[in-house]
Amino acid sequence: MVKIAPSILSADFSNLIADVTKVEEAGCDLLHIDVMDGHFVPNITLGPPIVKSLKGKTKLPFDVHLMIENPDKYIEDFVNAGADIISVHSETCIHLHRTIQQIKKHGVKAAVALNPATPLTVIEYVLEDLDMVLIMTVNPGFGGQSFIPSMIEKIKKLKTMIEERNLNIDIQVDGGIKPDNVHLVTGAGANVIVAGSAIFNSKDIKTTVELIRKNAL
């Protein structure tokens, strides 16, 4: 069974809790929160106060995707704001092993995100420590971009790496996922699906979420 994680990047920020409630009622599993700093990625989004403002107003676990430089500096703030899963980009971590331990020390789940051009070898020696790996299927920074097909092979390779070591690690995909291509990523081994524009820009959120789930099987 796949987990669906709507990205609030495409939600209506002037009425955020209303959109969050819609995706919760539509049966989504996680709330994907995209944090961008204008340095690691060209865009700026939101920080811990907004995450905190949603806590207690939804039962959805918070899946916080940090697209920021120097994530170590902010991990504690996002934990205190209510993060349940924290993803850091390998490209931003000089001491990736240390950063992962820092996340786990707070009792939240740790994930590493990889840009499309970043090879899987960067997680070879930390895989055992992870709860999830996030394969970016677009270059991070914006919602509404097109899925990069060469990532299918990368997902397959990661799935093999995980199976060979007998690990229980989620494979998340993020970027350009829609009802009509979700089968490609789940077929390759992904089980946590992020979708922003496909869900929030659709006329009927519930039907779209159900369609993603149906097509993923």
Binding site, residues?
A: 7, 32, 34, 65, 141-144, 174-176, 196-197
34 touches Zn ion (CB under 5 A): yes
Q: Assess whether 34 carries a catalytic annotation.
A: yes
92 touches ligand DX5 (CB under 6 A): no
Q: Assess whether 174 carries a catalytic annotation.
A: yes
Please count the residues of this chain forming the interface with Zn ion, following the rule CB under 5 A.
Answer: 3
Contacts 24+ apart (CB under 8 A), 89-94: 89/40, 89/113, 89/114, 89/115, 89/140, 90/114, 90/118, 90/122, 90/123, 91/40, 91/115, 91/118, 92/40, 92/66, 92/68
Q: Determine the residue type at 87.
A: S
89 touches ligand DX5 (CB under 6 A): no
User: Which token pair is 57?
Assistant: 């107003």
Q: Which residue is nearest to ligand DX5 (CB)?
A: 196
Catalytic residue among 29, 34, 131, 170: 34
Q: Cβ(154)–Cβ(124) under 8 Å?
A: no
173 touches ligand DX5 (CB under 6 A): no
Please state the residue numbers annotated as binding site for a divalent metal cation.
32, 34, 65, 174
Please give the positions annotated as active site: 34, 174
